[in-house]
Amino acid sequence: MISSSGIEVTLNNAGLWKKFNSPMEMILTKKIGRKMFPNLEYSVDGLNPTAMYEIYLHMERMDDHKYRYVSKEWDDYARGDPITPIQKIKHKSGGQTGMFWMDGPISFEQIRLTNNPETEKKDHICLQSMHKWRPVVTIRKLENGDENSDFDEEFRIENVWFMAVTTYQNPAIKVLKVENNKFASGFRSTGNHKTVLPTRGIKRTASETFPTPPSSTSPPSKTSSNGHSPIAHPFHNPANFDFSMMGTAHQYLMNPYQNIWNYGYNMGKQMVQPVMNQWNMQISGQPRNMNHEQQGNPNSTNVPEFYGLNNF
């Protein structure tokens, strides 16, 4: 719409509004209000780039009738309720230059519609249910930073109006809103939610996870650069292993330097660990060149001979 002063106001999402070929319906809620969908997003042209302006939005009653939805159509069956005072909501950007307003879309998505006449909440507009309403944009020019109400220009977009309701009357309107509103996916039959499966590893059999040891009970002979055999940690097939013995008082020691069946388990069967006594203590670290009196003497000068673990 173009005014006599050359200012033009257009609705950016007019195509979305045109999808609702029957009267648009906007929901009113009493406690917190309801945001409009489609929302109101405008473009402005023809302003003085350096002058200061404020932009307002309000709703005006289109007639003096009250409507009801009967037999799939709206009927003006009664006289309308008394008209309430106009509530003009100033755009949240406040006073800005004409260049600012012409540079991008002007959205009033923060507006909420309610039927609570006692509301004092910011950006809430109180409307009467079952009446026709039209959004009106007001552009006010500021003189030296002050409001100049004599320069108010109002703009009404043709075919942009709605019926205020507390619940949708026309099922087709609700369907269109659900289909076009990206925030209404929960109301769709499919929910429009992607199914996210939990991340899982590859399922393997026990033999793949814990390979069966080779037929030979001795691990391959490998020698590091220092001449010592590395520690091997083969693990027995769990199908033949009693895990209940792990970490208990009855746990038996397994010697990693020898074959894997020595003292821990033998194909799932426990083997009794040799009893350590005074007759075999020497082979577990006591030197052969120490007599009975020298054992445990810190002043002894005898150096123990090293016996590798393979001498067990």
79-97 mean pLDDT: 94
Does this model's pTM top 0.85? no
User: Taking the C-alpha atoms of 278, 284, 288 and 291 in order, what is their torsion angle to the nearest 10 degrees?
Assistant: -40
Across all residues in the chain, what is the average pLDDT? 75
Band of residue 182 on the pLDDT scale cut at 50, 70, 90: confident
The Cα-based distances of 220 to 225, 242, 258 in angstroms read 16, 26, 11
Residues 6+ apart with CB under 8 A from 102: 43, 44, 45, 47, 49
Band of residue 2 on the pLDDT scale cut at 50, 70, 90: confident
How many helices (H) and strands (E) the chain has is answered by: 4, 16
Per-residue b or e along 70-102, where b marks 16 or more CB atoms closer than 10 Å to that residue's CB: eeeebeeeeebeeeeeeeebebeeebbbbeebb
Q: Which residue intervals of the chain are DSSP H helices? A: 14-18, 98-103, 171-180, 206-209
The Cα-based distances of 100 to 40, 136, 290 in angstroms read 18, 20, 99
Amino acid at 266: N
Return d(Cα 139, Cα 55) in angstroms, integer: 5
Residue 142 in this model has a pLDDT that exceeds 90: yes
Of the candidates 127, 145, 115, 119, the one whose C-alpha atom is nearest the C-alpha of residue 57 is: 127
Band of residue 260 on the pLDDT scale cut at 50, 70, 90: very low
The per-residue pLDDT for range 40-56, each reduced to its tens digit, is: 999 999 999 999 999 99
125 contacts 111 by C-beta, under 8 angstroms: yes
The per-residue pLDDT for range 28-44, each reduced to its tens digit, is: 999 899 999 999 999 99
Residues 6+ apart with CB under 8 A from 258: 309, 310, 312
**Which domains does the chain possess?**
8-187 (2.60.40.820), 228-287 (no CATH)
How big is the chain, counted in residues? 312
Of the candidates 303, 306, 261, the one whose C-alpha atom is nearest the C-alpha of residue 283 is: 306
Return d(Cα 95, Cα 210) in angstroms, integer: 73
